[in-house]
Amino acid sequence: MALGSLRRMLLLAATLLAVGLTAGCGGGDDEDATTQWADDVCSAITTWRSSITSATDSLQGDATVEGVESALDDVKDATSKLADDIDDLDTPDLEASDEAQKTIDGLEDDLRSGVDEIESAADGTSGATGMLNAVSTISGTLATMGSQLSAAFKELGQIDAGAELKNAFEQADSCSSLRS
């Protein structure tokens, strides 16, 4: 697998994750808190996507085994941070807060499992073949995580408070870059 293909696969996975966020998403203090929560979620995704893009861009300038190892470490770290950021968010006060929290907890568990898979794939690899195998596994894991994120936000949009969540994601400033 060429490094250009690797870069495209990682960028595709990052894009799938971002699209997954916006696919299911389209006045008072509760609305403001919900919009802030949506903004925080989008901000975490945007930071992750930027980190993944930066890691893949670095491969163009450093196509060595060490460069690939560094990029894989960056992907692993960014994905772990995304899971932590999602975990740190408090579900907004909605009619269906418990159901929304259950969905977020499931997503966070999925993200942590993905981090474990990425870590396992990246650790202990050696040589060009080992790196390419790790990249393949990590790319697949990122794509799976994108699907899991998409499913979680679709589920959030279908719970009783779905319209409130949909509006929050539409109004959140940091979500606009994910919709474009």
Asked whether the beta carbons of 142 and 79 are under 8 A apart, the reply is yes
Question: Given this model, what pLDDT does residue 66 score?
Answer: 77
Per-residue model confidence (pLDDT) at position 50:
87
pLDDT at 161: 57
What is the pTM for the complete model shown? Answer: 0.68
Mean pLDDT, residues 131-157 taken together: 79
| Mean pLDDT confidence for 110-135 | 79
DSSP H or E segment with residue 90: none
- Give the number of domains in the chain: 1
Q: Which residue in 123, 41, 115, 126 sits closest to 80, CA to CA?
A: 115
Q: Which tokens in the block code for residue 167?
A: 């509006």
Q: How far apart are CA 142 and CA 172, in angstroms?
A: 25
User: Which tops the pLDDT comparison, 12 or 161?
Assistant: 161
Domain carrying residue 117: 3-179
Question: What does the pLDDT average to over 144-155?
Answer: 79
